[in-house]
Amino acid sequence: MRLTRFTDYAMRVLLYLGTRPDRICTIPEMTRAYGISQNHLMKIVHQLGRAGYVTSVRGRNGGIRLARPAAMINVGAVIRHSETQPGAEGLALLDCQTCRIAPACALTGVVDEALAAFFAVLERHTLADLLHGRTGALLDIFAATASEDPLPAATCVPPGFAR
């Protein structure tokens, strides 16, 4: 039982953007901050854009910013959206589709109820909650890691970088 890395990274993007509400951030920049795949991050950002969480600006001096205040971004909603996006497994915790006893099975209901409780907790939190009192510490980490592995300015991701 785990969330996809897609979801994991989506939350990291939001946390990064949340610590810098003042300015526009780029994907290569976040790639460096977290040390993760730029291509993957781009798809995640794209998805977050389609879902209305971030706004992207193309072209030179472009980048990404939160589309709404952090207090209006619900953690549960983000995670639910990210886990159910096309291509992912979705939230079917059990394989009732091929199970012969499904019509008489009470487990489905119980598991559904548990899943609802899971999201109920997440939905009680917003991005602002996650940032509250931690913005400084996060910025420190980002500053430290950004300088850690200096990349040539020209090519943001040299061949074989990620990893």
Partner DNA sequence: GGAATACATGTATATTGATTACATGATAGG
Partner DNA sequence: CCTATCATGTAATCAATATACATGTATTCC
> Considering the rule CB under 7 A, would residue 66 count as an interface residue with DNA?
no
Looking at residue 31, its amino acid is: T
Q: Nearest Cα to 83, choosing from 34, 39, 134, 75? A: 75
Query: How many C-beta atoms surround the C-beta of residue 32 within 10 A?
Result: 22
Let me know how long the chain is: 163
Whether residue 17 contacts residue 25, with contact meaning beta carbons closer than 8 Å, is answered with yes
> Considering the rule CB under 7 A, would residue 63 count as an interface residue with DNA?
yes
DSSP secondary structure letters along 94-124: S-GGG-TTGGG-SHHHHHHHHHHHHHHHHTT
Show contacts with a copy of itself in window 123-152 (CB under 8 A): 125, 129-132, 134, 137-138, 140-142, 145
From the list a copy of itself, DNA, none, pick the one residue 37 interacts with, judged by a Cβ distance below 5 to 8 Å according to partner type: DNA
Show contacts with a copy of itself in window 32-91 (CB under 8 A): 33-35, 75, 83, 89-91
Q: Nearest Cα to 162, choosing from 25, 4, 15, 39? A: 39
Q: Nearest Cα to 54, choosing from 92, 16, 107, 95? A: 16
From the list a copy of itself, DNA, none, pick the one residue 23 interacts with, judged by a Cβ distance below 5 to 8 Å according to partner type: none
> Considering the rule CB under 7 A, would residue 36 count as an interface residue with DNA?
yes
From the list DNA, a copy of itself, none, pick the one residue 72 interacts with, judged by a Cβ distance below 5 to 8 Å according to partner type: none
> Considering the rule CB under 7 A, would residue 102 count as an interface residue with DNA?
no
By CB under 8 A, name the binding residues for a copy of itself: 1-5, 8, 11-12, 15, 33-35, 75, 83, 89-95, 99-101, 103-107, 110-111, 113-115, 117-122, 125, 129-132, 134, 137-138, 140-142, 145
